[in-house]
Each structure stands twice: as structure tokens, then as C-alpha cells.
């Protein structure tokens, strides 16, 4: 039509479907840490959403999240989606002035941070904004809340679910507003372009606050895929995770790709499960691409994307 296509699938719909069809299947696996099935992930997400709603968080509100690679981004991003609220992931490497600007611009109603980021975020928050630490009993209690009450019917596809700030290379960072419909449609287009399979196991090696892997929180929900998370990048640990978890897909920036290929632990036999490696986010030299083609047992996909 002249007004364009309207994609009405919500992130909530993807998670609800997976919690029904794949209730016992691993959804999120943190290397060396927590593992959640789709049933467990949904319970945590809806518990957190109910707790946030009880604190007055609802449609249009922003929830700032500052955390490393863990289950926290999955819990918080999706909990916000149930409420029609927007998760605002914050780069954990920001300086104090950068953090103050973004937090001030986002105008959050509440903030959530892991133990490593609590002090840094607390110093930058405007007065009156409550900060919850994921290391505290309060957050664990919020995850365990069991009050659905039609929660899965609140959000709309047009609701902004994720606000990711750009790098601001030509000025101040700008908050890019991504709706549930846009994220769901992106998931479907990625599934088609990269030929997702229901048994795919995706490995996140880059920060989940970044668009490249932050949007994978939703895209790997498209058909019950398993999302493996590396808390901190290390070439040997990445190679070990691919082998141990049977990883089929991953995303790597050029530096990560080079370190993996140059690692003493590199052995093509350890990577037999891998069928696709997406590389990008920075210029990738032709010698590195040629080496990857020659030495990796999988297809390569040169990724380019905007936060928008």
C-alpha cells in the first residue's frame, strides 16, 4: 500500500511462542555461568516485568541498563518489551561526561546495573532515579515474581523496545529508537538472509549493549535458537566455547577474528560445528579475509549495519 507494510509481530510474541514450543530447550547459556531454558527465561522476564509495572513503569518509559555479557540483557530487554517500555543499554566503557550526557538525554524512570557498573552508573544518574543492582536480593526477588495478569497483552508492535545510542562520531550520540515490530522484522530478514535453522547455536563474543549483538537478543528468538554468551572475549575461550557448545553461528570484529586464527589453540577440527561467521563493524583487510576463507571450515558473511 502507499502507507507501506506494517509488521505486527512483537518480541513478546516470539518469546511466548518459544516458551510454549521449546519450553525445555536452552535459550541462554552464559559460558562458565547461568543457563536458562525458554521456560525459565520467560518466567524471569515476566517476573521482572511485573515487578517493574508495580513500580509504575509502563508504556513509553525508559529503563537504563548497564551490564556486561550475562543473562541481564536478556531479562531486562524483554521485560521492558512486555510493558511497552524501552530498554536503554549503556556502553560500560563510557567516560563520566559521556555517561552523564546519555543518561540525561534518555530521561530514565529506573536504572538497572550489574555489580561492576553500579558505582559508575549511580554517579551519573539524575537525582530521584532509583537504581537496582542485579547483585542484590531485590533484583532476584523481582525476577521471581509470579504475577502475569494479562501482561502479554500490554505491548504493541509500534512500541519502542530498544534505544541504542550511536557512537556520536560527528557530534553528540543520538538515541536510535527501535520498535518491537522493527526488531521482529529484522529478526525475520536475518533469518532469511543468513538461513537460520531451528537447531542453530549462536555465540555472542561482542558486547550485548552494541547493536551488532544487542539486536541478536531478539533475532535468536525467531525460531527457538540457543544463544551462547561469552562474558569477556578471549581467543582460547571463544574457540573452546564453539567446540563445547556446538556453536553454528557467530559474529566477530576483525581483531577477534585475527586473534582466533593466530591463537595457539586454533585447530580447524574444533570448529566443525561452525557453519557461518559474520565479520564486520570495522574495516577488514583482504589478507585477513583470505586467511579466514582458507582456514575456517565455514561460510563467511561480511556484515554491515547501522544502529538505525
Q: What is the pLDDT of residues 103-151, one digit of tens each?
A: 999 999 999 999 999 999 999 999 999 999 999 999 999 999 987 777 8
pLDDT for 52 equals: 96
Predicted confidence (pLDDT) per residue in 148-171, tens digit:
777 888 999 999 999 999 986 778
pLDDT for 4 equals: 59
Residue range 280-285: mean pLDDT, rounded: 83
Residue range 190-207: mean pLDDT, rounded: 95
pLDDT for 47 equals: 96
Copy the grid coordinates of residue 161. Answer: 523496545
Q: What pTM did the predictor assign?
A: 0.94
Amino acid at each position: 500500500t502507499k502507507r507501506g507494510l506494517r509488521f505486527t509481530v512483537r518480541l513478546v510474541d516470539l518469546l511466548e511462542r518459544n516458551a510454549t514450543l521449546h519450553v525445555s530447550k536452552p535459550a541462554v547459556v552464559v559460558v562458565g555461568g547461568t543457563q536458562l531454558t525458554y521456560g525459565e527465561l520467560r518466567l524471569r522476564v515476566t517476573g521482572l516485568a511485573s515487578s517493574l509495572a508495580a513500580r509504575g513503569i509502563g508504556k513509553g518509559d525508559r529503563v537504563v541498563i548497564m551490564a556486561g555479557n550475562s543473562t541481564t540483557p536478556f531479562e531486562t530487554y524483554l521485560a521492558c518489551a512486555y510493558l511497552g517500555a524501552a530498554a536503554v543499554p549503556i556502553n560500560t566503557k563510557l567516560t563520566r561526561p559521556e555517561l552523564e550526557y546519555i543518561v540525561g538525554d534518555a530521561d530514565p524512570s529506573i536504572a538497572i546495573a550489574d555489580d561492576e557498573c553500579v558505582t559508575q552508573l549511580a554517579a551519573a544518574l539524575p537525582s530521584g532515579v532509583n537504581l537496582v543492582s542485579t547483585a542484590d536480593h531485590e533484583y532476584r526477588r523481582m525476577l521471581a515474581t509470579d504475577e502475569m495478569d494479562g501482561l502479554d497483552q500490554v505491548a504493541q508492535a509500534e512500541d519502542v523496545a530498544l534505544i541504542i545510542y550511536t557512537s556520536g562520531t560527528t557530534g553528540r550520540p543520538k538515541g536510535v529508537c527501535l520498535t518491537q515490530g522493527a526488531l521482529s522484522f529484522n529478526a525475520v530478514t536475518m533469518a532469511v538472509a543468513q538461513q537460520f535453522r531451528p537447531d542453530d547455536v549462536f555465540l555472542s563474543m561482542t558486547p550485548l549493549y552494541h547493536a551488532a549483538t544487542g539486536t541478536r537478543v531478539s533475532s535468536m528468538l525467531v525460531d527457538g535458537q540457543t544463544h551462547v554468551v561469552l562474558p569477556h572475549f578471549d581467543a582460547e575461550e571463544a574457540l573452546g566455547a564453539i567446540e563445547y557448545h556446538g556453536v553454528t553461528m557467530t559474529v566477530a570484529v576483525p581483531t577477534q577474528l585475527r586473534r582466533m586464527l593466530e591463537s595457539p589453540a586454533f585447530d580447524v577440527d574444533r570448529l566443525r560445528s561452525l557453519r557461518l561467521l559474520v565479520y564486520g563493524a570495522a574495516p577488514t583487510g583482504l589478507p585477513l579475509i583470505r586467511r579466514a576463507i582458507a582456514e575456517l571450515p565455514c561460510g563467511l558473511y561480511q556484515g554491515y549495519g547501522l544502529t538505525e
